[in-house]
Structure 1
Amino acid sequence: MSLPPFDQSTRTTFTETPNPSWAYGQKTDSTAAGAKWMEGEKGGWKVINTAEEDRLKLYTLMISGIVPRPIAFVSTISESGVENLAPFSWFNMVTNHPPIVSFACSNVPAGLKDTAHNVKNSQGFTVNIISEPFVEQANATAIDTPPEVSEWAFSGLTKASSIHVKAPRVKESAFSMECELFQSIDIVHPDTGEQSSTLVLAHVKYIHIRNDVLNERGLVDIAKFKPVSRLGDISYARVGDAFRIPRPSWQQEKDKFAELAHTAGNL
């Protein structure tokens, strides 16, 4: 299949929300777009019993539906000094106090992946965020190399010294975190007893941010940062149009909710 070239000129822009006139209590199908979306329900539902589904089919289904997923680009170092670099899309922030992020490493037939093994050795590790300009290089590190082979050399990426941990940062990453292991949780299947993966809770000790991706408030500017995410199968995505929706405040909105409840006959 022939694909158009990547559009280097495309930038993230902010737009209105999909339905800026929406009001509390308004049904989804009250707009043309919402009605079209709800029309799809007439085609019925497919229901899957996860206990009976083939594990590979379940994996491919879940990664296609739980999207987009941010990517943790994790740099670790083994006890013998081999530097490992690998991406993980089962990744997110857990809390800011203490600053904790999480990522999960699926086991391989031989046991733990190199990353899961290395994070337990008390040398520390880094979690780097991937941006568009080096996504091919990052993807190359997903190769199933043996433990004694480092992915750094053939990735073409550059090591940058860390302050607190032994493992290097990815210099090309505009947002990198130096981490210590906070907790490692073995995920064990409740029926078979098989350890399928390792959930890593990482304590962020230092954050390195390139000044050119920050806005005037000192926050990361998504349009300059150009992060990528994982979708299903082997697909990635960039951040397209973005929109902002203020978080509602009960103190400000409680009279509207009371009116809705009264109209619905609940008061």
Structure 2
Amino acid sequence: MTTDAPKPEWREVYASRQLGGFNETSNHEATDYNHVEIDPYETGRQLRSNYRLLISAVVPRPVGFLSTLSRNGLSTNCSPFSYFQMFNHDPPLFIFGFASSLASPRDSLRNLVETGEGVINIVSEHMLEAVNAASINAPYGTSEFSLAGLEPAPCSVVKAPRVKDAIFSIECNLIETKEYASKIDPDKVTCTTAIVEGVRFWAREDAINSKSDHLDLEKLKPISRLGGTTYGRLGHICDMPRPQWQTSDPVGITNTGPS
């Protein structure tokens, strides 16, 4: 359910103090503590500590549930990735981060590179257990569709199947990949990013509006990735229109602009 912003009175307080005024409704307790500086490459610090810290801090992260097809067309694969995000809409662009090199790729990366295509499936509450089951380290050629009890469905542009259980899916073509080396061992590739472009969208008919430009969150119920082995469910949602600069406003801003 959408609610008001946590502090709807903030605008009035800000305006009363003119430009740059202090937000008197802030949580002062949050600024009463000192901060600890962390060098990610401090002597004796394990790299896994950086991983654990970052996945617990940069939250929530969307789950990129990627389904692919092998080059020979004989096996399918679907795996969840939390190093995933959308970063443009024209063209629709998405990025995945794989903890492997192109020389020794994970199954999804191998299929994506060899075929140049895949499908992003948005993870909803009703399919979380199956998605988690699909993260198993099964040998190449094993179909996580079967292991997790997920149903494949045909796509329009790409040969890889989408996950029919997903409320929203995106057919994608691979645009480019880039490898990144370890700061500790420059000869070791620790990450490969893949940028893909969305070429077709699939939305469950009861979850999309008549203009096909908005999904019902009460139907989508998206799942996010948090720290450790923790996932997050959608909680309270607040509606906060984006401020627009107005020269007629004594403070210079107004909250009547589009979100």
Conservation of the 8 A alpha-carbon contact between 2:153 and 2:163: yes
- Mapped to 1, the partners of 2:99 and 2:147 lie a distance apart of 23
1:105 aligns with 2:95: no
Going from structure 1 to structure 2, the CA distance change for 1:254 and 1:147 (only over 3 Å counts) comes to farther
User: Aligned residues, how many?
Assistant: 240
- What amino acid is aligned across from residue 176 of structure 1 in structure 2? S
Larger helix proportion, structure 1 or 2?
A: 1
From 232, 241, 254, the equivalent of 1:237 is 232
Identity among equivalent pairs (%): 33
Post-superposition shift, 1:134? Answer: 0.9
Going from structure 1 to structure 2, the CA distance change for 1:256 and 1:172 (only over 3 Å counts) comes to same
1:17 aligns with 2:10: no
From 114, 118, 131, the equivalent of 1:125 is 118
What SS is found at the alignment partner of 2:61?
coil
1:219-257 CA distance string (max 9 Å, x none): 011122101000000001111110111111124576414
From 185, 194, 198, the equivalent of 2:178 is 185
Conservation of the 8 A alpha-carbon contact between 2:80 and 2:134: yes
1:35 aligns with 2:23: no
1:11-34 CA distance string (max 9 Å, x none): xx1111111111344535x22x61
Q: TM-score, normalised by structure 1?
A: 0.84
Larger strand proportion, structure 1 or 2?
A: 2
Going from structure 1 to structure 2, the CA distance change for 1:250 and 1:141 (only over 3 Å counts) comes to same
The aligned residue for residue 208 of structure 1 is 202
The aligned residue for residue 220 of structure 1 is 215
From 195, 199, 208, the equivalent of 2:193 is 199
The aligned residue for residue 155 of structure 2 is 162
What SS is found at the alignment partner of 2:37?
coil
Conservation of the 8 A alpha-carbon contact between 2:119 and 2:172: yes
1:156-185 CA distance string (max 9 Å, x none): 010000111111000010100000001111
Going from structure 1 to structure 2, the CA distance change for 1:19 and 1:253 (only over 3 Å counts) comes to farther
Conservation of the 8 A alpha-carbon contact between 1:123 and 1:167: no
1:103-142 CA distance string (max 9 Å, x none): 111128x832111111111351100000001100000111
Q: TM-score, normalised by structure 2?
A: 0.86
Post-superposition shift, 1:78? Answer: 1.6
1:68 aligns with 2:60: yes
Conservation of the 8 A alpha-carbon contact between 1:123 and 1:165: no
Alignment RMSD (CA, Å):
2.0
Gaps of 5+ in 1: 1-12, 259-267
Q: Would you identify which runs of 4 or more consecutive aligned residues in structure 1 move more than 4 Å?
A: 252-255
